[in-house]
Chains A and B, each alone.
Chain A
Amino acid sequence: MDFTQRRDVLVIGGGNAALCAAITAREAGASVLMLESAPIDFRGGNSRHTRNLRCMHDAPTDVLTDAYPEEEYWQDLLKVTGGLTDEKLARRVIRDTDTCRRWMIERGVRFQHALGGTLHVSRTNAFFLGGGKALVNAYYRTAASLGVDIAYEAEVVKLTFEGARFVSAVVRHGGAEHQVRAGTVVAAAGGFESNFEWLREAWGEAADNFICRGTPYNRGVVLKELLAAGAQPVSDATQGHCVAIDARSPRYDGGIVTRVDCVSLGIVVNRDARRFYDEGEDFWPKRYAIWGRLVAAQPGQIGYSVIDAKSMGKFMPPVFPPLKATTLAGLAQALTLDPAALGRTVAAFNAAVRPGTFDHTVLDDCATQGLDPPKTHWARAIDTPPYYAYPLRPGLTFTYLGVKVDERARMYLSDGRACDNVFAAGEIMAGNVLGKGYIAGIGMSIGTTFGRIAGAEAARLVRA
Chain B
Amino acid sequence: MSAPSATRLEGLVAEAQRVLTICNACRYCEGFCAVFPALERRLEFTEGDAHYLANLCHNCGACLYACQYAPPHEFQLNFPRALAQVRLETYRKYAWPGFLAAAYERNGVATALVTALSLALAIVFAAMYAGPERLLAAWPDAQGSFYAVLPHGVMAGIFTAVAAFVAVALAMSFTRFWPDMGEETLEFLRVPSFAAASSDALGLRYLDGGGDGCTYPTDVPSFARRNFHHLTFYGFMLCLGATTVATIYHYVFGWKAPYPFYSLPVILGTLGGVGLLVGPAGLLWLAARRDPHLADPAQRAMDEGFLALLVLTAATGLALLFWRESRAMGVLLAAHLGFVLALFLLLPYGKFVHALYRFAALVRYHIERKRPLPSLGSE
Spell out A's residues near B (CB within 8 Å).
41-42, 48-49, 51, 110, 112-113, 116-120, 127-134, 137, 141, 250, 253, 255-257, 259, 261, 264-265, 283-285, 313-319, 360-361
Chain B residues with CB under 8 Å of A141's CB are 220
Report the stretch among B48-56, B172-180, B371-379 that lies at the interface.
B371-379
Chain A residues with CB under 8 Å of B212's CB are 110
Say how far A253's CB is from chain B's closest CB, in angstroms.
7
Q: Per-residue 0/1 for B55-90: is the Cβ within 8 Å of any A Cβ (1 yes, 0 no)? A: 000000011011111011110000000000000000
Are A259 and B68 in contact, with the CB atoms below 8 A?
A: no
Judge if B222 is at the interface, Cβ distance under 8 Å.
Answer: no
Are A314 and B26 in contact, with the CB atoms below 8 A?
A: no
Q: Given A255-B26, A315-B377, A318-B25, does the pair A48, B31 have CB atoms closer than 8 Å?
A: no
Q: Given A130-B63, A133-B68, does the pair A116, B28 have CB atoms closer than 8 Å?
A: no
Judge if B29 is at the interface, Cβ distance under 8 Å.
Answer: yes
Judge if B289 is at the interface, Cβ distance under 8 Å.
Answer: no
Chain A residues with CB under 8 Å of B24's CB are 317
Say how far B11's CB is from chain A's closest CB, in angstroms.
19
Say how far A323's CB is from chain B's closest CB, in angstroms.
16
Say how far B209's CB is from chain A's closest CB, in angstroms.
9
Chain A residues with CB under 8 Å of B47's CB are none
Are A48 and B68 in contact, with the CB atoms below 8 A?
A: yes
Are A256 and B25 in contact, with the CB atoms below 8 A?
A: yes
Chain A residues with CB under 8 Å of B144's CB are none
Q: Which of B21, B25, B62 has the most CB of A within 10 A?
A: B25
Q: Of B30, B369, B377, which is within 8 A of A361 by CB?
A: B377
Question: SS class of chain A's interface: helix, strand, loop or mixed?
Answer: loop
Are A132 and B68 in contact, with the CB atoms below 8 A?
A: yes
Are B28 and A130 in contact, with the CB atoms below 8 A?
A: yes
Are A129 and B210 in contact, with the CB atoms below 8 A?
A: yes
Q: Per-residue 0/1 for B17-37: is the Cβ within 8 Å of any A Cβ (1 yes, 0 no)? A: 000011011111111100001
Say how far A282's CB is from chain B's closest CB, in angstroms.
10
Are B43 and A313 in contact, with the CB atoms below 8 A?
A: yes
Chain B residues with CB under 8 Å of A130's CB are 28-29, 31-32, 62-63, 65-66, 210
Judge if B211 is at the interface, Cβ distance under 8 Å.
Answer: yes
Chain B residues with CB under 8 Å of A261's CB are 376, 379
Q: Of B26, B30, B211, which is within 8 A of A119 by CB?
A: B30
Chain B residues with CB under 8 Å of A318's CB are 25
Spell out B's residues near A (CB within 8 Å).
21-22, 24-32, 37, 40, 43-44, 62-63, 65-69, 71-74, 210-212, 219-220, 369, 373-379
Q: List 15 A-B contacts (CB under 8 A).
A: A49-B68, A110-B210, A120-B27, A130-B28, A131-B26, A131-B68, A133-B68, A134-B62, A137-B65, A250-B74, A256-B25, A265-B377, A317-B25, A317-B43, A360-B378
A127-B31, A255-B69, A265-B377 known, 18 other contacts, Cβ within 8 Å = A41-B73, A48-B68, A118-B30, A119-B30, A120-B27, A120-B30, A128-B28, A130-B31, A130-B63, A130-B210, A132-B68, A134-B65, A256-B26, A313-B374, A315-B376, A317-B24, A360-B375, A361-B377
- In angstroms, Cα B373 to Cα A314, docked, is 11
Q: Given A118-B37, A130-B31, A317-B43, does the pair A361, B378 have CB atoms closer than 8 Å?
A: yes
Q: Of A117, A131, A257, A314, which is within 8 A of B375 by CB?
A: A314
- In angstroms, Cα B379 to Cα A318, docked, is 13
Chain B residues with CB under 8 Å of A250's CB are 74
- In angstroms, Cα B67 to Cα A216, docked, is 17
Chain A residues with CB under 8 Å of B62's CB are 130, 134
Chain A residues with CB under 8 Å of B379's CB are 120, 261, 284-285, 316
Question: SS class of chain B's interface: helix, strand, loop or mixed?
Answer: loop
Chain B residues with CB under 8 Å of A257's CB are 22, 25-26, 69
- In angstroms, Cα B194 to Cα A59, docked, is 37
Q: Given A133-B67, A137-B219, A285-B379, does the pair A41, B31 have CB atoms closer than 8 Å?
A: no
Are A134 and B378 in contact, with the CB atoms below 8 A?
A: no
Tell me the nearest residue of chain B to A315, going by C-beta: B376
Count of A-B residue pairs with CB < 8 Å: 115
Are B30 and A133 in contact, with the CB atoms below 8 A?
A: no
Tell me the nearest residue of chain A to B65, going by C-beta: A137
Tell me the nearest residue of chain A to B369, going by C-beta: A117
Say how far B301's CB is from chain A's closest CB, in angstroms.
30
- In angstroms, Cα B129 to Cα A118, docked, is 65
Q: Which of B27, B44, B62, B73 has the most CB of A within 10 A?
A: B27
- In angstroms, Cα B74 to Cα A77, docked, is 35
Are A317 and B21 in contact, with the CB atoms below 8 A?
A: yes
- In angstroms, Cα B27 to Cα A318, docked, is 12
Q: Of B40, B68, B71, which is within 8 A of A255 by CB?
A: B68
Q: Given A49-B68, A131-B68, does the pair A319, B378 have CB atoms closer than 8 Å?
A: no
* In the A-B complex, the 3 residue pairs with the closest CB atoms: A131-B28, A130-B66, A360-B377
Q: Of A131, A253, A314, which is within 8 A of B376 by CB?
A: A314
Are B21 and A129 in contact, with the CB atoms below 8 A?
A: no
Q: Given A250-B74, A317-B25, does the pair A131, B37 have CB atoms closer than 8 Å?
A: no
Are B66 and A137 in contact, with the CB atoms below 8 A?
A: yes
- In angstroms, Cα B221 to Cα A80, docked, is 39
Q: Which of A130, A141, A264 has the most CB of B within 10 A?
A: A130
- In angstroms, Cα B375 to Cα A158, docked, is 52
Chain A residues with CB under 8 Å of B65's CB are 130, 133-134, 137
Say how far A115's CB is from chain B's closest CB, in angstroms.
10
- In angstroms, Cα B141 to Cα A109, docked, is 59
Chain A residues with CB under 8 Å of B21's CB are 317, 319
Q: Of B28, B374, B378, which is within 8 A of A284 by CB?
A: B378
Chain B residues with CB under 8 Å of A49's CB are 68
- In angstroms, Cα B69 to Cα A314, docked, is 25
Q: Which of A41, A319, A360 has the most CB of B within 10 A?
A: A319
Are B25 and A285 in contact, with the CB atoms below 8 A?
A: no
Q: Of A42, A116, A313, A317, which is within 8 A of B37 by CB?
A: A116
Tell me the nearest residue of chain B to A127, going by C-beta: B31
Q: Given A48-B68, A110-B210, A129-B211, does the pair A118, B377 have CB atoms closer than 8 Å?
A: no
Chain A residues with CB under 8 Å of B66's CB are 130-131, 133-134, 137
Say how far A358's CB is from chain B's closest CB, in angstroms.
10
- In angstroms, Cα B25 to Cα A51, docked, is 13
- In angstroms, Cα B376 to Cα A264, docked, is 12
Say how far A464's CB is from chain B's closest CB, in angstroms.
36
Say how far B222's CB is from chain A's closest CB, in angstroms.
13
- In angstroms, Cα B306 to Cα A449, docked, is 51
Say how far A423's CB is from chain B's closest CB, in angstroms.
28
Tell me the nearest residue of chain A to B71, going by C-beta: A41
Chain A residues with CB under 8 Å of B69's CB are 255, 257
- In angstroms, Cα B69 to Cα A41, docked, is 10
Tell me the nearest residue of chain A to B67, going by C-beta: A133
Say how far B38's CB is from chain A's closest CB, in angstroms.
9
